[in-house]
Amino acid sequence: MGLVLGVYCDDEDKNADKMRFTDSGTKYNNYVKGKLQDYLKMALPLPKLGQVRLLYGMDSKFNAIAAVGMGTDCIGYNPVEEIDEQKEVIRIVSAAGVKALQNLSFPRIYVESFGHAESSAEGSNMGIWLYQENRAERNKKVIPKIEIFDSNDWIGWQIGHQKAMAQNLARNFMEMPANVLTPSAFALQAVDVLTKAGVNVEVKVRNWAKLRDFNSFLSVSSGSSQAPIFLEAFYEGCETDVAPVVLVGKGITFDAGGICLKSCKQMKYMRGDMSGAAAVVSAIRAISNLQIPVNVRALIPLCENMPGAGAYKPGDIVKAKNGKTIMVQTTAHEGRLILADALSYCIMFNPKFIVDLGTLTREIAEVMGSSAAGVFTNSDSLYDMMRIASIHTGDRVWRFPLWDYYSDDVRNSEQSDVLNVGSDEDYGGACNAAAFLREFVPPCVDWMHIDSYGIALASGKTQPYLRKGMSGRPTRTLIEFLSQLACRHG
């Protein structure tokens, strides 16, 4: 077994004169009669933030101790960065420790709370995860069981565990090859995952969508041999007469660009173009497991965007479910087309509010990088709640304008009601996409659009607790947002 403990140290402290342990580290150091402190002094310099020192022979219970540098203990909420730096450090530190011990193939690892059990559970469980379903058994890394050490905050640990497992589930969906995770396969996996959590799921097929005039959604799917699926899920956490929150997730299981074909380089990560759908499924599972008292309905249009013989074309005009006609300027911007019908369909459920989520525009990544998701909304209070949630999770959001300027631009057509890009195809892409979606939001309903294009991939550096690959963001922020909503209105 292995154990992860934290140690504070200033960068200027070369001789470890000011070395301090966390509360759990202090207890353990006393238990081993100061050997932890002595061993670290022998292994100078002390580990900096996120660095690990592996120590052996401390006691008979633990085969190895991972002492992880935590930097200074004088941190907390940073209003300039809009992040709780203490919680983020805990995620980084716990992940670094468990990954170091995971490399030693320990089947069980204990991790201290570092003062916040929820963040420790998040970092630990996200840190050990990696996609290896298609590797030979002999080449797979051991995924150890993670348990809390020296803390009574079992509830906080379980909340963090559920959030981390939800984000890992989203990462798993996103990493799966597109030939394996077709729209039908996604639906089957979602049914399996959600029904086990007590969530009601309905799988709708092409004819159902056709009878309900989901023409925009069906036009995108027309170039693929894979049948489109419309997935509905409903979690009932409180009285049935309470209006549900409706989550809409973009579910393009592979985006080749349609007739407007992407290059091979551009298609490299397009298996993850269903990250919105993955986050929604994962979040609703966590909400159910945590028994959050809120009603949530998820709507997920699933299809591929391929250049098959029946594919829709630039210049096509399709009529969406709400009766508005759409001029297709480019088939490469398909996400907004499938979301349009799903947003129009929301009126059937008398929603408390609507949140749609997906990787819509490259422009949002060019502006924000992977620092935050872009948010567009007609409700100040919704944004404030999402912003506060993102501060706690370290998975930030940033608001962009939803002005009439952009709505006028996407309506600037003599041949259709709206354009799927806008009159100027080279500028304002992210804002125009949000303005386009706004045309299909039911009247007098609060709504938020989250463009997650820039945060879909993890570099392994900016958030060290996520290995390089698909990120699963912003799943935890979505869960925290819904949890705070329940607390506010409970």
How far is the CA of 428 from the CAs of 154, 327, 366, in angstroms?
47, 18, 12
41 is catalytic: no
206 is catalytic: no
* H/E segment holding residue 27: helix 23-31
Residue-by-residue DSSP string for 291-328: T-S-EEEEEEEEEEE---TT---TT-EEE-TTS-EEE-
How far is the CA of 92 from the CAs of 88, 95, 260, 394, in angstroms?
6, 5, 41, 11
How far is the CA of 143 from the CAs of 109, 163, 474, in angstroms?
10, 18, 23
Residue-by-residue DSSP string for 392-438: HHS-EEEE----HHHHHHHT--SSSSEESS-S-TTS-HHHHHHHHHH
Q: At what angle do helices 23-31 and 35-42 cross, to 10 degrees?
A: 100
Contacts of the segment 191-196: beta carbons below 8 A, 24+ positions apart:
193/169, 193/281, 193/285, 194/233, 194/281, 194/284, 194/285, 194/288
CB 350 within 8 Å of CB 448: no
- Of 87, 204, 321, 336, the active-site residue reads 336
Q: Where are the alpha helices (DSSP H) in 243-379?
A: 275-289, 335-345, 362-368
- Of 20, 27, 141, 262, the active-site residue reads 262
User: Distance between CA atoms of 177 and 171, rounded to whole angstroms?
Assistant: 12
* Positions of E strands within 57-142: 64-69, 77-78, 83-84, 108-112
Q: For residue 406, which phi and psi values (nearest 5 degrees)?
A: -75, -35
User: Distance between CA atoms of 224 and 416, rounded to whole angstroms?
Assistant: 26
CB 254 within 8 Å of CB 304: yes
CB 402 within 8 Å of CB 394: no
Task: Give the catalytic positions in this structure.
Answer: 262, 336
